[in-house]
Each structure stands twice: as structure tokens, then as C-alpha cells.
Amino acid sequence: MQVSVTVNGSVRTLEVEPRMTLLDALRDELALTGPKKSCDRGECGACTVHIEGRRVLSCMTLAVMHDGQRITTIEGLERHGDLHPIQQAFIDYDGFQCGFCTSGQIMSAVAMIEEAKAGWPSAATTDVSQSFSVSDLSDAEIRERLSGNLCRCACYPNIVDAVAHVTRRS
Amino acid sequence: MHPFTLSKAIDPASAISAAQDPHLAFIAGGTDLIGLMKDRAALPERLLDINGLPDMDHIEPTSDGGLRIGALARMSDVAADVEVRRRFPVISESLLFAASGQLRNMASMGGNIMQRTRCPYFRDEDGLPCNKRQPGSGCSARYGLNRTQAIFGWSDDCVATHASDVAVAFAALDANVIVHGTTGERSIPFTEFHCLPGNTPERDNVLRRGDLIVAIEVPARIEGRASYYLKVRDRQSYEFALVSSAVAVAVNTGRIMSARLAMGGVAHKPWRLIATEGELRGLSLSDVDALKAAIATSFTDARPLAHNGFKVELGQRVALRALQIAGGRA
């Protein structure tokens, strides 16, 4: 089947089998190896990308279901050679060791901050009936909201610090 | 994954007609179906992508003061909806305690209540005996490792539990599943939507071939505002429930006027504590011994398996604490 997607700002047209996941299409057809294939079951978050600005797991969706949609991978996050503030914070706060989960962590964190700005509560929110703002993003909130991204090097304290640095500055 | 074809649904009528084909499956968020296909626990030959069906992702008030949640609304959008959060916090919380941010952005509400059990034998890639996966092959969990399995309503053919969190909230609130099928639209009470396993555990629910879930309707409930979802699991986040409880309660001067309680992680379907609800009426929220006794009435018919006896005690404690927290919101 033919599918046309806008990936990191460029329109890309592919001929793929319906059974090809979006993750495999990005990695094997478009040579975008930032999204990582780790568990391939929606359990680890390493394949996180944005579809229409929302964080999703590219291993748990089919490429052909996204015709006409806008997809962003870690490769599309920098602007004119400048790293996204979350990318820079991961460097400054030593938010990784082996780095395999890092692109997923960063893509997840970037979209998570937008969710908080939109007022979305989380399972760490005491009273969901109250409004929520990005200034309510405590460390516990950040941990809960990023719980879908596993790190086997257990860099969690530094990841939380990196994300907290960006959210408290913004 | 095995090879299959995929086409896009244009309108509900043609989707229902196409789904008369037993080898066709609807796909929306795909977060359960794609995992099942990877594990070869589902092998549809044709997928029909229903994401483009019109007007099925809305959250809107109903004429009787309730809420209609479209089947294609995503878990995230329902959890974040201001009316859902204000009037039925238990719905928002049960969604937020499920899966991860990424999965909630993908998964549809209709797909959520259609998700299949997380029983490790059902999901096993090597195809161990499982009556749900291969009817007649046996139940590996009945005498296998069954710590996570049911304590209520199971049969020798299947001891699996239902994995959805929000289904527990919908059961407590007496929601309805709105279905379009070959005979038109019908409304299925939520507590009758999922089946007990009996001797047909391959059947999860009462849907008929071709049926399309279009919405879930939650009736207006005075108990809705004072509601809470408590989930206990092996890790703090991003895990299925060992035991959970959805409670909604109406309170007047410290006494329970009416209470609705359902449990997750204990049965093949969300498990309402009907006997307890009757016993709770009129009790003081501060009379802990009386509350405990009322909850215990629904646990006398618990039948724990070899490894999940802890769920009988844990379930009662979870129900009690959820009731106390919900009551504190009244």
C-alpha cells in the first residue's frame, strides 16, 4: 500500500505492506534510526515519536494508518543546528548512560510538557477535578508522566532533574 | 506479523456490513490488537481502520444530564476532559492509572473495553494450552502460576481477569455501551457487556458479529462527584492491577445515602459488590468496623486459587480505602 507522511517537515511517500509498523517504516524505509526498536510490544517507550504533536509508540501502530499525518522523530527536534532545550538539559544533567532509551525519553518529555501546559492531570495529581498548570509539575508528577519510558541504566534521577530544569524555567 | 490487508471504513453501515466477515477485525488505536497479532493470539486476515468514522470521538452531554463518550475518543482526551474530571473523577482517574502517556494518546475508549486479558498463558507466544486462545486446549493457569488471576466467577476452563481500569469505573456507574449492528442501535448495560468464562471463555463479551461500539453513555449520577479509583499493582506506575476498586458515593451528614462499588483484577469482568452496596446504606462513614463488615458480605463467595489468596484480604482493604477516600470528597 502507498502511504504519504510528512516526516520532520518533508513529505515522504512509501510503498509498504499493511503489516509494517510505523517504527519499522521510519527505521528501515526512511533510515531514521533515532526511534529505537527495543521491546516491540509497547512496554518500554524507546520508539516514542510524535504524530500531529502527540507522543505515541511507533511500534504499536501501522505505517499505513498515518497517511497524510505529520510525524516528528528525534532527528527533527533541533532547529537550525540548535538542540531542543530538553536535549541540551539531558546533556547538562547527565540524563543517560548507554543512550538506548534516550531518544524515546526526550520525545516523551517534550510532548509531556505540552500536555501539562494544556492542563492535563496525571495519576500523581491529588485532585483531578481541579485545574492543572505546568507550574504544578513536581518531581513526582514528572516521574509519573514519564513512567512509560524505561531506562535499564536507571538514570531516572538525572532524567527527572533535566526535565524539571526545563519546566521550571519555562 | 502475519500478512493481512487493510482498508478504511467510510461509514458505520458499510463497516458493520464488512464485519460480517469472520476474518475481519476493526482497528482503532491498535494498542491491543497489534500486540495480539505480534503474539499470534489474533490472526485476522483483513483489518478495517475505523478511525475515519465521523462524529465518534466526541465527549458530549446527553439529554438526561449524563455524558456520551464516543468510542473513538482517546483515553487521554477523556481523562483530561473538564466535565469528566468535575462530574466523574473516577473515570478520569481510572484512565490515568492505566497504561502510559503514549498509549493513552493512541488507545480508543471502544478498544479499551474490548481489550483482551493479560493472562500470561493467553499471551504466550509458544501457544501453551489456553481455552480462550484455542477452545478445548485446556487452561494452563488453573493449576499453573495463578497469582494474578481471578477469585470470583471463574470456571475450570478459564481463570483470567479483565484488564481494563476504566471498565471498572463504568460498571460502578451503570454506564451503557451503545452498539450499532445489523438490527440497528441498541444499548447494553455495562455490567452485562462482559461475560463470565463458563465453558466458552473464548467469548469476552455479548457483542454479535458485525457489531460496532459507537459510544459509552454514563447516566447522571449524584454519586459521581464523590468518586475515586484506587489501584494496587506490583509497581507504582505503568502496570496492570492486582486489585482495584472504583467507588462512587452519596453522603448526607456523614451517612452513606447510596454507594456504588466495583472491583478490578478479581474476575473475568468488572465485579460489582451488590451485596455491599445494600449493606452500606445508612452507615456512618466513620464507623470503620461497620464498613468492613458491609464489604465482607461481598467476599463470602470468593474462591481463591493456589497463589492468589492474598486478593481476598487485599480486595476488601482496597474497597474500604477507596470508599473512605470517595466519601471524603462528598
Map out the domains of chain A as residue ranges: 2-76, 85-169
Q: Is A137 on the interface with B (CB under 8 A)?
A: no
Window 56-75 of A: residues touching B by CB (8 A cutoff) are: 56-57, 60-62, 64-65
State the ipTM, two decimals: 0.98
Q: Judge whether residue B37 has pLDDT over 70.
A: yes
Helix (H) or strand (E) holding B89: helix B89-96
Q: Which domain holds residue B247?
A: 227-328
- Region label for A61, one of left (φ > 0), alpha (ψ between -120 and 50) or beta (otherwise): beta
Please tell me the distance from the alpha carbon of residue A58 to that of residue A71, in angstroms, as a whole number.
Answer: 10
Q: What is the pTM of this model?
A: 0.97
Please report residues of A whose CB lies closer than 8 A to that of B101: 55, 108, 111-112, 115, 145-146, 148
Q: Cell triple for residue A134?
A: 505546568
Domains: count for chain B = 2
Calculate what percentage of chain A has a pLDDT beyond 70: 99
Question: Are A19 and B3 inside 8 Å of each other by CB?
Answer: yes
Picking from B1, B96, B106, the nearest residue to A61 by CB comes out as: B106
Please tell me the distance from the alpha carbon of residue B105 to that of residue B92, in angstroms, as a whole number.
Answer: 14
Domain of B36: which CATH number? 3.30.43
Question: Are A55 and B51 inside 8 Å of each other by CB?
Answer: no
**Minimum Cα–Cα distance from A45: chain B residue:** B102
Please tell me the distance from the alpha carbon of residue B107 to that of residue B18, in angstroms, as a whole number.
Answer: 23
Q: Cell triple for residue A21?
A: 509498523
The mean pLDDT of B212-225, rounded to a whole number, is 95
CB distance B35 to B64 below 8 Å: no
Q: Which of A86, A57, A71, A92 is nearest to A29 (CA)?
A: A71
pLDDT band with cut points at 50, 70 and 90 for residue B229: very high
Question: Are B237 and A147 inside 8 Å of each other by CB?
Answer: yes
With H, G, I as helix, E, B as strand and everything else as coil, classify residue B319: helix
Q: Judge whether residue B126 has pLDDT over 90.
A: no
Q: A2-76 adopts what CATH topology?
A: Ubiquitin-like (UB roll) (3.10.20)
Helices (H), chain A: 22-24, 85-92, 102-117, 139-145, 156-169
The mean pLDDT of A99-121, rounded to a whole number, is 98
Residue B221 lies in a domain: no
Please tell me the distance from the alpha carbon of residue B194 to that of residue B176, in angstroms, as a whole number.
Answer: 12
Q: Is B43 on the interface with A (CB under 8 A)?
A: no
Phi, psi at residue A104, to the nearest 5°?
Answer: -70, -40
E-only strand ranges, chain B: 5-8, 24-27, 46-49, 59-61, 67-70, 176-181, 184-189, 212-218, 227-232, 243-252, 255-264, 271-272
CB neighbours of residue B236 within 10 Å: 13
Residue B196 lies in a domain: no
Residue B143 lies in a domain: no
Domain of B284: which CATH number? 3.30.390.50
Rg value, chain B, Cα? 19
Calculate what percentage of chain B has a pLDDT beyond 70: 100
Residue B281 lies in a domain: yes
Helix pair angle (A156-169, A102-117), 10° resolution: 40
Q: Is B2 on the interface with A (CB under 8 A)?
A: yes
What's the pLDDT score for residue B46? 98
Instruction: Say if domain A85-169 classifies as CATH 2.40.50.140.
Output: no
Min Cα separation B170/chain A (Å):
17
Q: Which of A113, A131, A52 is nearest to B106 (CA)?
A: A52
What's the pLDDT score for residue B222? 87
The residues near B322 (Cβ < 8 Å, ≥ 6 apart) are B228, B229, B230, B245, B246, B247, B261
Question: Are B101 and A118 inside 8 Å of each other by CB?
Answer: no
Question: Are B38 and A128 inside 8 Å of each other by CB?
Answer: no
